Structure 1
């Protein structure tokens, strides 16, 4: 499904207005905020802003040469800014305490007039994806990069938790106390115009419950995105049926029981800093969409092996696989070697290995099921290419699939299609939040 162009335009307008306010306060603002969280030291210089996908940053230098990063979640690009900032701080503190993953130290956090901010220590390094871009997969740099990435993934896999959701330090213990905040939720609000209040606020005791929640989010997405969601009545029926059937698959999916592991939706070479020329990791950044997730997420083959986000993959997913599978084989070889080394040292058990499970995830279809669950805007391509026939047999006509829906789902279909066609004709945007509400969220 395409982005709602009106929602995207509105998001850009909010971002532009917010950026004017931020620049009006700078460089005094980052200097002040960094100084507040390093008392007794004078901040003397703030760099120009660097703009990421969801955050904008300024590097502040102190008189003694110490450097800190002041990080502002971008209004309208980053939704649920307060919630995700608190979650990210919790994850960073947890990882620093319980893993060997190199993490920036959180110096402090708070709010300025137009939203939250976080101050961390500065990590020197080059973005790994830039080092790899354009290199053939036969380059030794790819194997070095895979080794660094594999070590981080193994570290993330070691802590376990009894339920699915976001971490919080409560009475001296790390617990899952809040809903999982995902990258997909951010995008559904940002460019799908889903009302933020539609998302559940609960945690999940089983993976089955959570998979059903993700299937429900896909149906909500189709319902609420008014523009660029459907082409015509037939396309609308097909998308509605696919989401109902995916919910049916989710309800019957034999998910692994807990305990569960940490998973970062956005962990990829673009968020990894390395030294040159050995490509050893100096730091991993951008932990905002990290939560305790179903084990199937962790055990699925990595999506980032071709340095592209899934939405940028070739529209022919079978053709995409011809490029992806050789890279996966190389990564799994390196991952297995890392596992062997850790097992020999006693820092990993055989039951904690990831490589065999990742290899099976493509064959079993778990890779595609999890990707479809987590990526609303490429759901239809994945569903029809890899899931529909696997679960329901060869497709002869859409009416064959209609008979698999519940009576309630079939009764709703005609009215749903009429509603979507009316939305197409109106070509307008529902307003769920004004600027002030968006700032406070």
Structure 2
């Protein structure tokens, strides 16, 4: 389902206005001031550093050769900037204290006239995605080098496998974002996800259309994600549907998906739950190319405690591409044909790492992931979790993989409509007219004032 072009244009304008104001007010001086506030020492200079999708970053150099990054959450790229920043700071501190995952040190955090910021240690290294990407593809996002040897790929996958195992070990009793209470870390806020940010910024959903609290059971959380997909279809005013048949298929898919997820979490419905990062991938891994080891994992803003199923499915990042890019050049079946050999290679490496960690006494046999990930492709759990987490890919995933798996061969949309309950069929009868009226008006609902948006 395409996002709302008017919503995306508005957020682009918000970002451009924010960035223009930011660059007009000596951001290097601001970065040096904030760095010194949280890390003492004589500062020599500051310069613009590599920006991410949601942040603007400055590198600050000290006389003692220390470097820090001052990272500003960008207005128009992230809507809940303060929440996003608070979540990432807490996760970074938790990971440094309770895991072996290497992450930058947080020197401090706060809010300035430009919005929330983090001052953190600068880590040298090359992005793993740059090491693995196709050098012949000059434009767009990186894709895996099709000519890379299995030996080279195994070395990279081994480093990722260690991180995946380490990240999956912490356990929690409910689903949501971590907060720090004294020396303890507990789940105390709603799970702020990458998809929630996309729906607010690019589909113009209201705050009430996304989760607002923690969850006690995985079943409740999966159903909330399914309801979020329905809210997306109902409330995105523009670019939501193309015609009545398209509208029917999108509504039916969301209703039937809601039925699927009600029974998807059986073994782990009441926990324990696992720490999960929506944006964990090679593009956020800094490596020392000479020794080929991980120096740090960065960009933890959309990290939360999630259903165990999220940690147990095969990783989506093996080909470097994000799910929304999978069918940009071909269909999903073609992508899957290229993905499966890489998955087999990764699982072989993961099993070897599991054996090694168990022999060392740093991993329990019950914490193995490889067999669960392999099974997730056969059971369809891989596609269920992916569909739950990605609104932009939902319809392609549902109709390509889930519908036939759960409801048998597709005959006609009328046959699928018969699987809906009476209330769903009643809504279906009128939803196309609602979508046409929304699109005819060509407007956006206003959910935030400018002042409120700046303060979020």
Corresponding residue for residue 283 of structure 2: 270
Task: Give CA-to-partner distance per residue, 1:316-374, whole Å, 9 cap, x none.
Answer: 11111110001001111111111110011111111100001001100000000000000
Task: Say which SS state the counterpart of residue 50 (structure 1) adopts.
Answer: coil
> Per-residue deviation at 1:106?
0.4
Q: 1:200 aligns with which of 198, 203, 211?
A: 211
Q: Is the 8 A contact 1:78 1:186 kept in 2?
A: yes
Give me the whole-angstrom Cα distance separating, in 1, the residues matched to 2:332 and 2:291: 33
Task: Give CA-to-partner distance per residue, 1:366-418, whole Å, 9 cap, x none.
Answer: 00000000000110000011111111112211111111111111111222211
> Per-residue deviation at 1:171?
4.4
Corresponding residue for residue 101 of structure 2: 101
Give me the whole-angstrom Cα distance separating, in 2, the residues matched to 1:83 and 1:278: 37
Which shifted more, 423-432 or 211-220? 423-432
Give me the whole-angstrom Cα distance separating, in 2, the residues matched to 1:169 and 1:246: 35
> Per-residue deviation at 1:9?
0.8
- Count how many residue pairs are aligned between Structure 1 and Structure 2: 440
1:133 aligns with 2:133: yes
Unaligned runs of at least 5 residues, structure 2: 135-144
Corresponding residue for residue 398 of structure 1: 413
1:433 aligns with 2:425: no
Task: Give CA-to-partner distance per residue, 1:68-96, whole Å, 9 cap, x none.
Answer: 00001111111211011111111110000
Give me the whole-angstrom Cα distance separating, in 2, the residues matched to 1:93 and 1:255: 32
Give me the whole-angstrom Cα distance separating, in 2, the residues matched to 1:254 and 1:263: 16
Corresponding residue for residue 304 of structure 2: 291
Change (3 A) 1:313 1:427: same
Corresponding residue for residue 361 of structure 1: 376
Which shifted more, 391-400 or 115-124? 391-400
Give me the whole-angstrom Cα distance separating, in 1, the residues matched to 2:186 and 2:238: 40
Q: Is the 8 A contact 2:265 2:309 kept in 1?
A: no
Q: Is the 8 A contact 1:4 1:192 kept in 2?
A: yes
Give me the whole-angstrom Cα distance separating, in 2, the residues matched to 1:346 and 1:336: 15
Task: Say which SS state the counterpart of residue 65 (structure 2) adopts.
Answer: coil
1:37 aligns with 2:28: no
Query: After superposition, where does 1:244-263 map in structure 2 within 5 Å?
Result: 244-257=255-268, 258-263=271-276
1:337 aligns with 2:352: yes
Corresponding residue for residue 173 of structure 2: 162
> Per-residue deviation at 1:44?
2.1
Q: Is the 8 A contact 1:14 1:435 kept in 2?
A: no
Q: 1:377 aligns with which of 382, 392, 400?
A: 392
Structure 2 length-normalised TM = 0.94
RMSD over aligned Cα atoms: 1.2
Task: Give CA-to-partner distance per residue, 1:108-127, whole Å, 9 cap, x none.
Answer: 00111131000001100001
Corresponding residue for residue 92 of structure 2: 92
1:83 aligns with 2:83: yes
Task: Say which SS state the counterpart of residue 107 (structure 2) adopts.
Answer: strand
Unaligned runs of at least 5 residues, structure 1: none
Corresponding residue for residue 221 of structure 2: 210
Q: Is the 8 A contact 1:233 1:421 kept in 2?
A: no
Query: After superposition, where does 1:179-194 map in structure 2 within 5 Å?
Result: 179-194=190-205
Q: Is the 8 A contact 2:191 2:211 kept in 1?
A: no
> Per-residue deviation at 1:431?
2.2
Task: Give CA-to-partner distance per residue, 1:20-60, whole Å, 9 cap, x none.
Answer: 12112211110111110013x12221112432111110000
Task: Give CA-to-partner distance per residue, 1:127-168, whole Å, 9 cap, x none.
Answer: 110011123242533111101111111111111011111111
Structure 1 runs of 4+ aligned residues shifted over 4 Å read: none
Corresponding residue for residue 139 of structure 2: none
